[in-house]
Structure 1
Amino acid sequence: MQESASAASHARPGKDIAGQEYLAFTLGSEEYGIDILKVQEIRGYEQVTRIANAPDFVKGVINLRGIIIPVVDMRIKFKLGTPVYDQFTVVIILNIGGRIAGMVVDSVSDVTTLTPDQVKAAPEMGAAFSSDFLIGLGTIDERMLILIDIDKLMSSDEMGLSDTIAA
């Protein structure tokens, strides 16, 4: 009995970062990463139905196989200029705490596994979004991923989706 408890405790250290897989995507000239386990699917961008009085970054809603889901444009949310919708623009469908939401990004590149020594703490810089939503910065050779805690970001009050997505 004691051995199994000990084995379980050894499996936990660094579980949140060690060898974790991140979906890499771009917004403007920067690359970001989110936990791949939060991603349900990736779809091409399609027209959304606008919702009156929604914040600018909430593009609207789409009907995903009978489920109406909110769609957030991260370029608008992070104040990265005027979004351009082209053949590379995708919607990442997220499943956060059993709630579904879409996130519009410029493009998706790959899935990357990061080890603890590849993840550095994010500096406090008064970024476009609170560093509370950052896990850190992932580095792979010359490449850097801004790692986002998508659970915290999408369920935050400032996103205005807290009624829709409750983590």
Structure 2
Amino acid sequence: MSRQLITFQLGDQVLGIDIMEIREIRAWSPATPLPNVPAHVRGVVNLRGVVLPVLDLRSRLGWGVTDPSARHVIIVVRMGEQLQGIIVDAVNDIVTVSTEDMQPVPEMGVAEASRFLDGMATIDQRMILILALDRLVEQVPLSDAA
């Protein structure tokens, strides 16, 4: 069996999300900040009348903070029962990964980022880190934060 992934950039890192979890890819638009939310929650944007929380994926993974510009994009995904956006540097392409080509994330002790990964795969000499979207979300709903 195989999975299709949308790959994208966060700095020099290539990450992937299962294509079935993606609802749309949109250009960056500034987010309205919310009080008392985790630092990786940049705020919310209006997506055709729906309030969409936007996460800074770089911050969530512990890789610094994104300074968004017009070149950044928001990938809209379903996390649990809610649509959410994640800020990435650029979207690359669609790749197909067979289950035989997927590798587990090596044990790294208390490494923060590894708990957000579903696995890794090498395609065309590139290491792709496969995100586990369900593990990115805090258990506290944003409606409780405001």
TM-score (norm 1): 0.77
Matched-pair contact (CA < 8 Å) for 2:60–2:136: no
- Is the aligned partner of 1:64 residue 2:47? yes
Amino acid at match of 1:129: A
Q: Could you tell me which residue of structure 2 aligns to residue 6 of structure 1?
A: none
CA deviation map 1:1-49 (0-9, x unaligned): xxxxxxxxxxxxxxxxx21101111112111111111100001111111
- Unpaired runs of 5+ residues, structure 2, are none
- Of structures 1 and 2, the larger Rg is shown by 1
Q: Could you tell me which residue of structure 2 aligns to residue 34 of structure 1?
A: 17
Over 6 Å off, 4+ runs: none
Residue 84 of structure 1 deviates from its aligned partner by 2.7
Matched-pair contact (CA < 8 Å) for 2:33–2:42: yes
Report matched runs for 1:131-142 at 5 Å.
Answer: 131=115, 133-142=116-125
Residue 148 of structure 1 deviates from its aligned partner by 1.1
Q: Could you tell me which residue of structure 1 aligns to residue 113 of structure 2?
A: 129
Q: Which has the higher contact order (CA 8 A, sep 6+)?
A: 2
Change in 2 beyond 3 A, CA 1:101/1:109:
same
Change in 2 beyond 3 A, CA 1:162/1:59:
closer
CA-atom RMSD in angstroms: 1.9
**Aligned positions, number:** 143
Matched-pair contact (CA < 8 Å) for 1:121–1:135: yes
What is the rounded CA distance, in whole Å, between the counterparts of 1:145 and 1:89 in structure 2? 19
Residue 120 of structure 1 deviates from its aligned partner by 0.7
Matched-pair contact (CA < 8 Å) for 1:35–1:150: no
The structure richer in helix per residue is: 1
TM-score (norm 2): 0.87
What is the rounded CA distance, in whole Å, between the counterparts of 2:94 and 2:22 in structure 1? 11
Change in 2 beyond 3 A, CA 1:113/1:61:
same
Residue 77 of structure 1 deviates from its aligned partner by 1.3
Matched-pair contact (CA < 8 Å) for 2:56–2:65: no
Report matched runs for 1:63-142 at 5 Å.
Answer: 63-125=46-108, 126-131=110-115, 133-142=116-125
Q: Could you tell me which residue of structure 2 aligns to residue 49 of structure 1?
A: 32
What is the rounded CA distance, in whole Å, between the counterparts of 1:23 and 1:61 in structure 2? 23
